[in-house]
Amino acid sequence: MNIIVCVKQTVDLQQVRIRKETREPVLENIPLTIGNIDKNALEEAVRIRDKVGGKVIAVSVGSEQLNDTIKEALAMGADEAVLVMSPELDRAESSIAALALAAAISKVGDYGLILVGEGSADNYSGQVGPRVAEILDLPQVTYVKSLAIENDTLKAVRSLEDCFETVEASLPVVVSVVSEINEPRIPSVTQILKAGKKPKQVFKPEELGIALTPATKTLSNLAPEQDRKRVLFQEGTDKDVASLVAALEAEGLVRR
């Protein structure tokens, strides 16, 4: 049984700065990486493979830089990569990404499990897993915090807001994981060196016969206005604490 893991290439969010004058994010020349929760999905895939066999296939959609970014997934233990690349797929919206992922997954054909993170690192919209499941007409089990595969059946515990739900479904199934599921490994130098040599299959959208029709339009994307006083008391002494309490009192925030 092969295990598919969908990963998303995003800018390293720790390095995103905001242009003060315009409140626009600066995205140029920021290293690209794979989303944090995607790494949990990958880690889980590798662990399952080590138990039940088969291959872990990382599937991703994006700009040409994906050639490099995907090495991270291969170094973490994915055996192969299937990529859909095109400049137009750079930061593609969920509906387009799902279409391209599903088409690439169909090319793989033989799979039992499709793992995704509960949400991407940048947009966290949580649409792609359910959309892929719908396109491929598969059941979906989302927000999974632990799982096991036994006799072609998935047994998983979902973490919902108010409860844990233990569910079962026959493979193949789409599973989205939460970050609590595991601790992703840090690849060793040997694994990083080997990553570049692992098999990679690359498609263009037109080769998959998919139309990249947008379903949403982004009118603006700006940092929220933050108008804060930024008063800093440097000492943490009784006097500083008294000044803080006095300031909060003056604003009617305490001792109401």
Contacts of another protein in 12-31 (CB under 8 A): 13-14, 16, 18, 25
Q: Does 222 bind another protein (CB under 8 A)?
A: yes
Write out the binding residues for another protein, residues 224-253 only, by CB under 8 A.
Answer: 224, 226, 228-238, 240-242, 244-245, 247-248, 251, 253
Q: Binding string, 170-209, against another protein, x = CB under 8 A?
A: x--x--x--xx-----------------------------
Q: Does 219 bind another protein (CB under 8 A)?
A: yes
The stretch near another protein (CB under 8 A) out of 81-89, 104-112, 126-134, 192-200 is 126-134
**Paired residues of 83 in beta bridges:** 60, 202
Q: Does 110 bind another protein (CB under 8 A)?
A: no
Shortest distance, position 150 Cβ to another protein, whole Å:
13
Give one DSSP letter per residue of 84-153, joined into a string. Answer: EE-GGGTT--HHHHHHHHHHHHHHH---SEEEEESS-SSS----HHHHHHHHTT--EEEEEEEEEEETTE
Q: Nearer to another protein by C-beta: 28 or 162?
A: 162
- Sheet of 113-117, strand order: 153-159, 140-150, 173-177, 113-117, 3-7, 56-62, 80-85, 200-203
CA distance 242 to 247: 9
Q: Does 88 bind another protein (CB under 8 A)?
A: no
CA distance 21 to 1: 53
β 153-159/113-117 pair status: unpaired
Q: Nearer to another protein by C-beta: 24 or 50?
A: 24
